[in-house]
A and B are shown apart, each in its own frame.
Chain A
Amino acid sequence: MGAGHAHKLYKHANSPVHALPAHCKLAAVFCFVVLIVATPREAVWAFGAYAVLLAAVAAASRVPPRHLLTRMAIEVPFVAFAVLLPFVAEGERITVWGLSLSESGLWGAWNVLAKGTLGVAASVLLASTTGLNELLLGLARLRMPSLLCQIATFMVRYADVISDEMRRMRTARLSRGFEARGPRHWGVLAKSAGSLFIRSYERGERVHLAMLSRGYTGTMPPALGDGPAARTQWARSAALPLAALAICLLGWTL
């Protein structure tokens, strides 16, 4: 925990994908995912084509496939849900290997699995090639409401501080011979959580004071660094969603 917390997903490399501005990449991934979701599930080949597109971007980004695949494990709970679908869904049933499965359930499972996996893969790829701070700046550039940006920025900044505090409290508990072994000890944990909340709340007040002292009036000053993205950068970022658009349209017409 601690230091690496905010950077677990990011994988530094010098690649054309890393070099693109965060807001271009965000917009591209968002459009890409929307197009995937809009593709009819019966167009099985289209999802294969999307996967090829993503693999091409991943190769260009020079992020090791292992890095991407392990981080895609976050999808597992949804996969479990998808696997259940053929068993519980209504409708016509077919028999596969002696199991009676619902046909619409199978299509539903495929739908969740294919679209979910592609969406997660695209997001993991985005997070692996874009630093957390850049992502926040990107969201701000895409005109996400300033208040939401501020909340996200502070969350990123203070997640480590608070988890550090949590670890120190745990160490203090252990040093005094306390170890949570069962429900009877939940009270102590709840009190720890409560005091962590109060400490964080008080820290929030102190941070606000420090912000006021430096001239904060309710809006964050605009970000430092490079201005709007160049047209070529937008064009390069648009390659992925445009290819996906073609596939999606073909998926509907074929």
Chain B
Amino acid sequence: MDSVTSTDTDTTATETSEAAPSLEVRGLAYAYPDGHQALFGVDLTVPRGQRVALLGPNGAGKTTLVLHLNGILTPGAGAVTVAGLRAERPNLAEIRRRVGIVFQDPDDQLFMPTVREDVAFGPAAAGLRGAELEARVHEALERVGMAEHADRAPHHLSFGQRRRVAVATVLAGRPEILVLDEPSSNLDPAARRELADLIRSLDLTVLMVTHDLPYALELCPRSVVLSDGVLVADGNTQELLSDAELMRAHRLELPFGFDPRSVTVPVA
């Protein structure tokens, strides 16, 4: 696998424990209890600080893969390791803190009566209390630019704001890796751009599941393609999206008139 690592150079200076990559998936296979096999031996390594797009048609197993990353699903074979820690039963609390999953529908993600309580949920479940907890909540909301909305109810926010708060809820746990499920869905262009700015500003390892190929190109120097439960491609996003044959073979389509070769990819 020729992974493109354009971003991990700038984080090496700030991080001390360089040894383990943020995410390591080895030979991951999984079949649902009804017998349907969703993953057939997936290998994926994401170095610290890298942003990777996970592309693939509907039903390719993307969601199944994501639910393995924090131990919601238990692998049939293979293993998931997050910054050196195996995603297994005794480690689950720590694994779920390290892997921050932002689900597609913010109404599923934001289940507490106010934004503040929702952002506090993860760190509080991990045992944080009092002033430390307040500070953590404020810091997370500040990072997504929603600090002044802390006392509002989630359903009083716009969709874009809710998505940003959903990101804050996992940032509050200080995750090792941020996993975004269709982050740009249902966002208007301005909210979509604001979210991109936010993701770029985070300086975190990111795995982004998306159908929005221009968004993947904009944010992720590296992409992997999951199709029928196997990783069929892994490489530079621009090169990958320009490979018409590969794209066609896996039901990936660019928006009308979009040519990935004509775009100057922003430096991450």
- Is A224 touching B120 in the complex (CB atoms < 8 A)? yes
- Chain B residues within 8 Å of A224, by CB: 116-117, 120, 124, 133-134, 137
Q: Give the distance in Å from the alpha carbon of A136 to the alpha carbon of B96 in the complex.
A: 28
With beta carbons under 8 angstroms apart, the residue of B97, B113, B137, B173 that contacts A136 is: B113
Are B113 and A160 in touch, CB under 8 angstroms?
no
B111 contacts A215, C-beta separation under 8 Å: no
Contact yes or no, B126 A215, CB < 8 A: yes
- Name the distance in Å between A172's Cβ and chain B's nearest Cβ: 18
> From DSSP, what is the main secondary structure of chain A's interface residues?
helix
The CA-CA distance from A222 to B101 in the complex, in Å, is 23
Q: Which of A45-53, A204-212, A240-248 is found at the contact surface with chain B?
A: A204-212
> For the side of the interface on B, what is the size category?
35 or more
Chain B residues with CB under 8 A of A229: none
Is the CB of A96 closer than 8 A to any CB of chain B? no
- Does chain A have a CB within 8 A of B45? no
- Size bracket, chain A contacts: 20 to 34
Q: Would you call B109 an interface residue if the criterion is a C-beta within 8 Å of the partner chain's C-beta atoms?
A: yes
> How long is the Cα–Cα vector from A3 to B97 in the complex, in angstroms?
32
Nearest CB in chain A to that of B101: its residue: A213
Q: Does A12 touch B at the CB level, under 8 Å?
A: no
Interface-facing stretch out of A21-29, A54-62, A150-158 = A150-158
Specify which of B72, B121, B173 lies most central, judged by the most chain A CB atoms within 10 Å of its CB.
Answer: B121
B36 at the A interface (CB under 8 A):
no
Interface 0/1 of A208-228, CB less than 8 Å to B: 011111111100011110000
What is the minimal beta-carbon distance from A139 to any residue of chain B, in angstroms? Answer: 13
- CB distance A215 to B103 under 8 Å? no
Residue of B nearest to A153 (CB): B113
Q: Which residues on A sit within 8 Å (CB–CB) of B170?
A: 214
Q: Tell whether B154 is near chain A: CB-to-CB under 8 Å.
A: yes
* Closest residue of B by beta carbon distance from A203: B108
In this complex, what residue of A is CB-closest to B166?
Answer: A210
Which of B101, B113, B125, B137 contacts A133, CB < 8 Å?
A: B113
Residues in B with CB closer than 8 Å to A174 are none
Provide the bound-state CA to CA distance between A161 and B109, in Å.
Answer: 13
B153 lies within 8 A of chain A by Cβ: yes
Quick one: given A3-B156, A206-B105, are A213 and B96 in contact (CB under 8 Å)?
A: yes
> B120–A157 contact, CB under 8 A?
no
Query: Given the complex of chains A and B, what is the CA–CA distance between A213 and B126 in angstroms?
Result: 12
- 4 smallest CB-CB distances across A and B, nearest first, come from A221-B124, A215-B125, A214-B122, A206-B108
Q: Which residues of A contact B (CB under 8 A)?
A: 3, 6, 132-133, 136, 153-154, 156-158, 160-161, 203, 206-207, 209-217, 221-224
Could you pull out 18 A-B pairs where Cβ atoms are within 8 angstroms? A3-B156, A132-B113, A133-B117, A133-B153, A157-B113, A157-B154, A209-B108, A210-B103, A210-B111, A211-B121, A212-B96, A213-B101, A213-B103, A214-B122, A215-B93, A221-B121, A224-B120, A224-B124
